[in-house]
Amino acid sequence: MQEKSVIARSIEVAGGVHAPGHLGELTQIIDFDLVDAVLEETGTREKRLRLLPSRVVVYFVLALALLERCSYRVTWGKLTAALAGLCLTRPSVKPRV
């Protein structure tokens, strides 16, 4: 009889359109736990519910760095390509008043 070791870990992730895998391959490389830990350590987690949660913004900024020649809109489109057809919030510049 062989002995086996099993290591199980529980990860709490965002649901809905911000679930793992929906934000592209970055979520497979940099997991939500790491992003959440950095947000906590730096005190930059959102205080109110936003249309684009802090965690999503981190992945967007990482994608911007990787796709440096692409515009914000093109980068966001690539990051959320798997969600085509859904009504998504998009990052945008606030109009000046």
Task: Give me the residue spans of the domains in the chain.
Answer: 17-83
Residue 88: band (very low, low, confident or very high) from pLDDT cuts 50, 70, 90: confident
pTM of the model: 0.69
The per-residue pLDDT for 40 is 92
Residue 1: which pLDDT band, with cuts at 50, 70 and 90? low
Q: What is the pLDDT of residues 7-54, one digit of tens each?
A: 665 545 555 655 545 567 788 888 888 998 999 999 988 887 777 888
Pair 20, 26: CB distance under 8 Å: no
What pLDDT score does 83 carry?
Answer: 77
Angle at alpha carbon of residue 38, lines to 32 and 23, rounded to 5°: 30
Reading the block at residue 29, the tokens are 């490389």
